[in-house]
Chain A
Amino acid sequence: GENVEQHPSTLSVQEGDSAVIKCTYSDSASNYFPWYKQELGKGPQLIIDIRSNVGEKKDQRIAVTLNKTAKHFSLHITETQPEDSAVYFCADLSNFGNEKLTFGTGTRLTIIP
């Protein structure tokens, strides 16, 4: 089955600096790549997504880049703030007619004030 690898598993960043989380996927048919943020005590929530016909997407301080040739995609958070501290999950969706996402193993991001 599909496999999504996510690195690093933990990341500590000084407030104001940038954070980058990387994911690689195995299914060349994957064409949709969302990122979810899970705050303490809550379920994950979608923060940004990208489709395979686009190389980069930006939404204020967060951006996602996709390299289909290399089968990897990354989340970039600039000017990090304490509220960015959370667990982040990448995921992908194969286009073989199913509705199931395959999630990465998660990255615990800590912003140091």
Chain B
Amino acid sequence: QQPVQSPQAVILREGEDAVINCSSSKALYSVHWYRQKHGEAPVFLMILLKGGEQKGHEKISASFNEKKQQSSLYLTASQLSYSGTYFCGTEIGGTSYGKLTFGQGTILTVHP
């Protein structure tokens, strides 16, 4: 069953912040975040392993709440280059390592 992302779309002005959520009904081993620009390949942003850790990548960070089976991606002081579709991919582990189930995506648009 695919994870649910919210919101489906968000529009920002440069410098504003955004949060994208990814929720699963299954116990997760990890959550992978990707960004895809139109006509391009998805680009890996970061992976969160179970344990509730938080990771950061420049002004983009993420957290994983194991209790809620939810991950959140935080984009601070957004830049025009942040525009694109953000996907979370969830992994339940065990014999299913590598088998990612992706959410429907969140379209982020950053305006000047």
Partners in one complex: no
Interface residues of A, Cβ cutoff 8 Å to B: none
